[in-house]
Amino acid sequence: MQSKIVLISDDSDFFDYIIPKLPLRNSDEVIRFSFSMVPEKLHLIKSSLLIINSENNQEKTLQLIELAKDVPSIVFSYNNEEKFKINAYKKGMFAYFTLTTPDEELEANLLPALKFVSTMQKNNMYREMLVKHNLLLKNNEVFLDYNSILDKAIENIKKESISATLVAIAPSENKKFLIQQNQIETAILNHIRKNDILMNYAPNKYFLLLYNSNLNQSYKIWEKLTKILPNGMYAGFSLISSKSREQAVNEALNKLHIAISNNNDAFFSTKEEYIGTNFKFFRQEFNKKIDQVIAPVFYHIQQTYNDKLFGMRIEQGIGEGYGVFYIKSNSSTGTFRITSPGLSTVNVDISYEEKNGENTDSKRITFEPEELESGLLQDLLERFILEFKSLNEMNGANL
């Protein structure tokens, strides 16, 4: 791919000096300007490497670096003036050279700068395609055709079995006319993660797709966004799970309208999602967790610890709507049972029973379905094993 190298100098000898030192390819284009010509040609600086000879034009050099802050700028100076050098770096300079800079150091800085330019050009080509097909606004990264974007994203989410949340965002009716153009999307784009997707579905109304985020994590992200968004913004949340695009959109919008009606800046609920007619859906989701999370983690922990627990053995079992994990010694049994009552909660019941039938300790841990991930379950099981060992040691068991 072709790269543009823009040279700026009032000394034509500088061009003859610097060009032989550039690691140019046959497709690369070198453009030369004097300082007086640059204002009329600023559009050529886009997606280019800028090399400026600052001799007698230090102030103009600093102005150019600031104007071209989105492209790498390399400054060539005949003197190593520390104050000017510091100011140039503050403005966003990529590298600084003098007459005494070795050619090897010059080349070492030029190569990453040219690679950066090449990446920028590819990104610009991709963006131009999206703008041309009305998928992306020209001056930001807000996708317009949320239907097709969500269809592809949800397909990938289900294929990879990852958690994701769709957030519907909008201002109240009496606030939407006070919001400046691009104010909402600019604030969101500057404060979300790289792989999250912002989509427009109506004027000043948006969908935000948050990858690898359950409802609680998504709400924490929203709390951060509300600190930099205009007042009067609301959000509704839908955990995608096995939902279709239409189901996720409708749920997020419905919860957005509830949030606006209740004058609450955000609304999400997991409990209402699974009661009544959706009880069957919840059971199906929990059984998926058994196959995709519980059974693999139980097996992994059993394989990891079976040979490390002297005097103890591990057993485990899986059934319809439950998973159970046992640790047994000669004197006692520890039971870790994970079930769901079908009301949007997952229960972990832990008990320790002596050989004589006496129950020495028991407790219940309850959490939301979307929180049941491999890392959490593994942590709970390892803590269960350590507690069982401690109880046995206290009771004088020979481990």
Q: What does the pLDDT read at residue 46? A: 61
Q: Pick the last residue of a domain from 211, 245, 269.
A: 269
- Whether 264 and 153 share a structural domain: yes
Query: 327 and 369, same structural domain?
Result: yes
Given this model, what pLDDT does residue 271 score?
43
Q: At which residue do the structure tokens 């949320």 appear?
A: 146
Domain-located, residue 276: no
The pLDDT, as a whole number, for residue 136 is 57
My answer on whether 305 and 378 are in the same domain is yes
Residue 163 maps to a domain: yes
Task: Please check whether residues 374 and 295 belong to one and the same domain.
Answer: yes
Q: What is the CATH number of the domain that holds 259?
A: 3.30.70.270
Does any domain span residue 274? no
- Same domain? 67 vs 166: no
Please state the length of the chain. 399
Residue type, 190: N
User: Are 361 and 351 in contact, with CB atoms under 8 Å apart?
Assistant: yes
Domain that holds residue 388: 281-394
Alpha-carbon distance of 65 to 85, in angstroms, equals: 12
Q: In what order do the strands lie in the sheet with 95-97?
A: 29-33, 4-8, 48-53, 73-76, 95-97
Residue 92 CA to residue 243 CA, distance in Å, equals: 46
Give per-residue burial for 362-373: e unless 16+ CB within 10 Å, then b. Answer: eeeeeeebbbbe
b or e along 194-215 (b: 16 or more beta carbons within 10 Å of the residue's beta carbon)? Answer: eebbbbbbeebbbbbbbbebbb
Regarding whether 123 and 15 lie in a shared domain, the answer is yes
Which pTM was predicted? 0.41
pLDDT for 168: 93
Predicted pLDDT at 139: 53
How many domains does the chain divide into? 3
Burial of 252 (0-12, 13-18, 19+ CB in 10 A): buried
Looking at residue 181, what is its pLDDT? 59
Which of 248, 269, 290 is the last residue before a domain boundary? 269
Please check whether residue 343 lies inside any domain of the structure. yes
- Contact by Cβ (8 Å): 204, 171: yes
- At 230 the pLDDT is 82
- Return the pLDDT at 272: 41
Query: Is residue 399 a part of any domain in this protein?
Result: no
Say yes or no: 194 and 241 in one domain: yes
d(CA 235, CA 208): 10
Question: Are residue 206 and residue 249 in the same domain, yes or no?
Answer: yes
Domain presence at residue 361: yes
Same domain, 28 and 102: yes
| Low-confidence residues in the chain, pLDDT < 50 | 43, 270-278, 397-399
CATH number for the domain that contains residue 53: 3.40.50.2300
Whether 12 and 86 map to the same domain: the answer is yes
At 386 the pLDDT is: 85
Q: Is residue 314 part of a domain?
A: yes
Q: Which of 221, 217, 195, 198 is nearest to 208 (CA)?
A: 198
**Are both 106 and 190 inside the same structural domain?**
no
Task: Among 243, 269, 295, give the residue marking a domain's end.
Answer: 269
Q: Could you tell me if residue 139 is inside a domain?
A: no
Same domain, 189 and 256: yes
